[in-house]
Amino acid sequence: MSVARAQDIEAGKAVFRKCAACHNAETDANKVGPTLKGVVGRNAGTVPGYAYSSAMKSAGAAALIWDDTNLAEYLANPKKKVPANKMGFPGLKNPDDIKNVVAYLKSVSG
């Protein structure tokens, strides 16, 4: 079994299956969580039709942009990056998984 390299889109897509119960990345449809299609470069808390927490809306109003660094920090610990947000997932612990998910999200944000 080979070890996934950092920035591996296919490996990121596989890890994203953990997120897919609540998030969609292939279409603009929201689920329990907002769509993540086009998330890279987007202001936090701004997907039309999604009821964000006030914490996430405030983060977006304070100019939190989902770039590589902010996504990686959020994926590692959502409650630390945006305290009081409503996402229940505790975060990804493997740094390569985080890098790969960011690579995958970039691939669907183009």
* Average predicted confidence (pLDDT) for the chain: 93
pLDDT digits 0-9 by tens, 21-51? 999 999 999 999 999 999 999 999 999 999 9
Task: Give the CATH H-level superfamily of domain 11-107.
Answer: Cytochrome c-like domain (1.10.760.10)
- Verdict on whether the full-model pTM lies above 0.75: yes
pLDDT digits 0-9 by tens, 64-87? 999 999 999 999 999 999 999 999
Asked if 36 and 24 count as a contact pair (C-beta separation under 8 A), the reply is yes
Per-residue pLDDT band at 2 (split at 50, 70, 90):
very low
Domain-by-domain residue ranges, the chain? 11-107
Cα separation values, 20 from 48, 54, 63, Å:
19, 23, 26
